[in-house]
Amino acid sequence: MKSVLIVDDHRIVIAGCRRLLSKGGDYELFEATTADEAFIRFAERQPDMVILDLGLPGMGGLEVLRRLLTEDPHCRVLIFSMYDDPILVARALQAGAKGYLTKNDAPEELIVAIEAVLAGEVYLSHSMARELAVMTHRPGRRPDLTPRELDVLRLLGQGLALGEIAERLGISYKTVANTCTQMKDKLSLKNTRELIRYAVEQHLAL
């Protein structure tokens, strides 16, 4: 029996994963809804693999991934996220994830992904694999950004929400939002998603 740790702050997602896995194979399942809880469960249970959401409160998913791999370099992590930007997918794979699945993919694909990762393979949906194959990185000149703007941009690239960034930097939510607006103007970007993409392309999310 293979053991799987599901890390997601939405219990309805955890419940859905449990239902799917109960029908798709013989798994011992554990769960965590925060990063700190995930580290405790991981140390206690030493699961065969981890299903990890990128949008955990308090700590960016990529940071959680890196810490898990620091504790166990052989850890098999499948990212299961609402984010479908191929640049974030590439960053997760570079950080050591063994697969990436979005919450918009077909439910049965989760079983396929888990089996592939447990077998030692890297799993991506066909559509995501195609997007990664044609994606090119074109870092350009960075306009002059202030130290605060760079800090906010780096944390955006790590997957933190605006409120989490405010708490991490010890500033107000309004200050973070205004800083994002200023950066969008400087960089000629339309929205926060494009800011995140820019942070990753410029290798600021490390």
What are the pLDDT digits (tens) for 24-66? 778 999 999 999 999 999 999 999 999 999 888 878 788 899 9
Total domain count for the chain? 2
pLDDT digits (tens, 9 = 90+) for 102-160: 998 999 899 999 999 999 999 998 778 877 765 544 455 456 788 888 889 888 888 88
Residues 166 and 191 in one domain: yes
**Do residues 11 and 87 both lie within one domain?**
yes
Which residues form the domain of 152? Answer: 147-201
Among the candidates 109, 134, 159, a domain finishes at 134
CATH number of domain containing 191? 1.10.10.10
User: Exposure string (b/e) for 163-187, b if CB count within 10 Å is 16 or more?
Assistant: ebbbebbebeeeebbebbeebbeeb
Model pLDDT for residues 59-88, shown as the tens digit of each residue: 878 889 999 999 999 999 999 998 887 778
Same-domain pairing of 102 and 153? no
In a domain, 139, yes or no: no
Residue 90 in tokens = 């590439």
Distance CA 152, CA 192 (A): 11
Residue 12 pLDDT > 70: yes
Q: Are residues 35 and 118 in the same domain?
A: yes
* 179 and 110 in a common domain: no
Say yes or no: 117 and 175 in one domain: no
Does residue 78 lie in a domain region?
yes
**What's the CATH code of the domain at 62?**
3.40.50.2300
Q: Is residue 39 part of a domain?
A: yes
- pTM of the model as a whole: 0.68
Instruction: Establish if 96 belongs to a structural domain.
Output: yes
